[in-house]
Amino acid sequence: MRPMDEAPREPAETLGQRLRRLRTERGFSQQAISGPGLTTAHISRIEAGLRRPSVRAIRALAKQLDVSAEYLETGRPLGPRGDLEVRVADAELEIRVGTRAETTLDTLRSLAAEARSLGDPMLTARAVATLGLTLSSAASYDLAIPLLEEATTSVVITPPLRPDVYIALAQAYAAAGRRVDAVNLLESALAFVEEHASEHIGAYMRLAVNLSYALTDAGRLDEAREVLEEAVRRHGNSCDRRTQVSTYWTLARIAAMSGDSTTALEHMRRAIALLEAGEDSLALANAYGLFGQILVIDGNYEQAKAPLDRCVSALEQEGRLEDLGLFVADQAKCAANLGETDEAERLANRALQLLAQSPSDQGGAIGVLAIVHSQRRQTAEAEPLFKQAVELLEQGNEFEEAGRVCRTWALMLRDQDLRDDAAKLLGRAAELEKKAQSRSLQTR
C-alpha cells in the first residue's frame, strides 16, 4: 500500500510511445524510418503496443532516429547530449511542421554552436540543416547555401531521410542564379535514392518533381518531362496523394509551356480528380486493418473479414504493397478458422510473397498453411510448418499467436493418438500464453 504522502507516479513511457514521440519530433513518417524487414505496418504495430521489436529492429530504428538503442528500449536519459538532442528535435519540429514560430535564428545558431562544441557531428548537421532551412525560407540564400551544403555532407542528412534539405539547397542555388548546380544536386540526390533506398518512394517522387522544376526553369523541357514520366512509371501508383497531384500539375505545366494544351488539360483533370477525392484513404485503410487485426486476436474471424477486406482493397488501390503482407496473413487466418481451406491457402501464399523481404514476419502465414494441411489430414506436411511457425512467432515476441498455433498443432497430434506429444505442446502453449500476459502487463 502506498504511503499517504507519496505522490502517484506518472505512467512510464512504453517503447512504442517513445518510438512514436522520437519519430514525430524528428518530423519522420513511418515510411521514412522503414526498411528491409521493417515495414510501416510493423512499425505501426510497435507504436500501438501490439508488437515487441526484436533487438535487430531496435538497433535499426535507433540508427534511423539518431539515438542509442539503449535509450530507445529503456528511455534512460543520456546526459548533456540527450538534453541538446531534445532541444534540436524541438526546433526541427517547429520549423518543419510550421505550427509555431518560437525558435529564433539566434536560438538555432546557439544550438549549432553547442553541437559543435560537444563534438557531435550528427547533432551539428541537424542543427545546421534547421538553421539553413530557416534562412532559405526567409530568402537569405547567401547565408543559407553554405549551411545547407555543410548539412548535406553529413551521414545523417541523406536524400532518402531528408529530401527537404536537398530541395531547399537546390532552390537556393536557383535563386542565386546557379541553375546548373541546382540540377546537378537534385540529379545526384535522386540517383542516390534510386540506388541505395528505393523503398523511400515519397523521397524519390519529391526529388523527381523538384528536379523537373529545375530543368524546366533551365529551359530543358524534354528532360523535365522525361524525369516525371519515369517517376510516374516507377511509382505513380505508390506515392501519396499530394505527390501525385504535384506530379500531374508539373506535367501540365511542362505541356502548357510546350504549347500542348490538350495534354496539359488532361494532366490538370487528373490532378483535380485526386484533389476532389480529398480523404486520407491510406490512414483510413490502416485503421480498418488494425481493427480487423484486433478482431482476429479476439477470435472474431467472421467479423474481422469485412474491415480486413476493406483495408487490403484500399492499400492495393494506393499501391502500398509493402504494408499488405501482415493484413493478407490475417485474411488467411480468418479463412482457415472459418473452414475455407482453399482460400486460406491462396491468401497465405500471397502473404508469404508480400513478406519475402521480411521473413521474420512470415510466422502467421506459415501457421495458416500448417492449419490447412492439418484440416486436410496431411500430417507429414503440417508438422514442419507448425514447428517453423511457432519458432518465428516466438522470435517475433508474438507469444499469444504462437500459443494458439501450438494448441492447433496439439489437437492434430491428439487426433493421431499421439497424446504424449500433444500434452507437451499444450504445456508449451500455456507457457507462451503466460509470456503474452506478462508482456501485456509490462506495457500498460
Residue 211 is placed in which grid cell? 528536379
CB 165 within 8 A of CB 148: yes
Q: What is the 3-state secondary structure (H, E, C) of 320-371?
A: CHHHHHHHHHHHHHHHHHCCCHHHHHHHHHHHHHHCCCCHHHCHHHHHHHHH
Q: How confident is the model at residue 187 (pLDDT cuts 50, 70, 90)?
A: very high
Residues of the chain with CATH 1.25.40.10: 294-442
Report the amino acid identity of residue 155.
Answer: V
User: What CATH code is assigned to 294-442?
Assistant: 1.25.40.10
Residue 143's pLDDT is what? Answer: 92
Report the amino acid identity of residue 192.
Answer: F
Q: How confident is the model at residue 438 (pLDDT cuts 50, 70, 90)?
A: low
Q: What per-residue string of b and e applies to 335-369 under the rule 16 or more CB within 10 Å gives b?
A: bbbeebbebbbbbbebbbebbeebebbbbbbbbbb
CA distance 369 to 385: 7
C-alpha to C-alpha distances, 259 to 27, 87, 361, nearest whole angstrom: 40, 51, 51
- Of the candidates 387, 377, 443, the one whose C-alpha atom is nearest the C-alpha of residue 416 is 377
Residues of the chain with CATH 1.10.260.40: 11-76
Residue 378 is placed in which grid cell? 496431411
- Of the candidates 378, 389, 392, 380, the one whose C-alpha atom is nearest the C-alpha of residue 332 is 389
Residue 103's pLDDT is what? Answer: 59
C-alpha to C-alpha distances, 284 to 59, 307, 312, nearest whole angstrom: 30, 10, 11
Count of beta carbons in the 10 Å neighbourhood of residue 199: 17
Its pTM stands at 0.44
CA distance 385 to 388: 5
Q: How confident is the model at residue 419 (pLDDT cuts 50, 70, 90)?
A: confident
Could you report the per-residue pLDDT of 64-123, keeping only the tens digit for each?
887 777 778 887 655 566 667 767 776 776 666 554 445 577 888 888 888 888 888 888
Residue 83's pLDDT is what? Answer: 65
The CATH architecture that domain 11-76 belongs to is Orthogonal Bundle (1.10)
Residue 369's pLDDT is what? Answer: 93
- Of the candidates 402, 394, 404, the one whose C-alpha atom is nearest the C-alpha of residue 52 is 394
Q: What are the φ/ψ torsions at residue 53 (nearest 5 degrees)?
A: -70, 155
CA distance 420 to 82: 55
- pLDDT above 70 covers what percent of the chain? 80
Q: Is the pLDDT of residue 365 over 50?
A: yes
- Of the candidates 231, 226, 219, the one whose C-alpha atom is nearest the C-alpha of residue 258 is 219
The DSSP result for 149-179, as a single string, is: HHHHTSSSS-TTT-HHHHHHHHHHHHHTT-H
Q: Is the pLDDT of residue 36 over 90?
A: no
